[in-house]
Structure 1
Amino acid sequence: MTGSRNVDSGTRSEGTLDSRYGRAPDRRLRDRRSLWITSGVFAVVLVGWVVWAGLGGSQPLLETRDIRNVVQDGRNVTVTFEASIPVGASASCAVEALNQSFAVVGWKVIDLPPSDQYSRTFTEQLLTSEPATTGLIYRCWLT
């Protein structure tokens, strides 16, 4: 009789310990559900990113490259740059002049007409509010 009491109370205390330390069967089910939900969210984010990156890669490529700048005097800077624009597309570019502290002292937005050439060279003169040390292409975008 004594042996059977120990078995029963041992089983009961083991069940109590399992509950206390999170080893109950419902805990496993909850862990499995959270794993599936986390995996599902990860899969949705991954598929969304792949679609977004794939669609972004189909946009026409627009590249620019600074070639030279000439500070002519305290009020004028000439900027020469190359723009590679998809054939038949028009673009606009912002050209800037910077002073010794890298502050913008001249700014101009120019329109580049469509062409049958992919790469073209442009030269633009900027008026500045104070003496500049450099001039460069800031950014271009398709219009």
Structure 2
Amino acid sequence: MTATLDQRYGRTRRSRRRDVWIAVIMGVAFVVVFAAWVIWAGLDGAKPTVDAQDTKHSIIDAHTVSVSFEVTMAPGTTASCAVQALNESFSIVGWRVVDIPAASTYTRAFTEVLRTSSQSNTGLVKGCWPT
């Protein structure tokens, strides 16, 4: 009677072996995926970082704005920064990518003058990235 019920509900010796094999395969798959993620995340963190901070802006006239900013990055690293001018609606009215050459200091100050398509009321650094 018990053997008949075990066979009916899939509790045979064969099904237990299959369940063990499925558990082992799932465990190995988890370990492989986790190890791949750890390696990928470890290699991804090796990129140099570049930080930029706005220091001031000056509206020169209706079509020109001066943007001052500081860039912090590892010595010997080159970077590019996107500098933009915004109007009172926060629309971009002037934009330029500035190439930052390598140097021996961590933090350097820059000032860029942007031409704008209309009156701006602010200028800022959108972001920087290593090149």
More helix by share: 1
Normalising by the residue count of structure 1, what TM-score does the alignment of the two structures yield?
0.78
More strand by share: 2
Change (3 A) 1:80 1:33: same
Question: Structure 2, unaligned stretches of length 5 or more?
Answer: none
1:123 maps to: 111
Amino acid at match of 1:106: G
Amino acid at match of 2:101: P
Partners of 1:93 and 1:80 in 2: CA distance: 12
Report if the CA contact (8 A) 2:49-2:129 is conserved.
no
Normalising by the residue count of structure 2, what TM-score does the alignment of the two structures yield?
0.85
Question: Structure 1, unaligned stretches of length 5 or more?
Answer: 1-9
1:76 maps to: 64
Counterparts of residues 27-66 of structure 1 (less than 5 Å) = 27-66=15-54
Specify the structure having the higher radius of gyration (Cα): 1
For this pair of structures, how many residues does the alignment match? 131
Name which structure has the greater RCO, CA cutoff 8 Å, separation 6+: 2
1:122 CA displacement: 0.7
Change (3 A) 1:121 1:29: same
Counterparts of residues 82-121 of structure 1 (less than 5 Å) = 82-121=70-109
Superposed CA offset, 1:42-88 (max 9, x none)? 11121112212222233223221222223333322221111112212
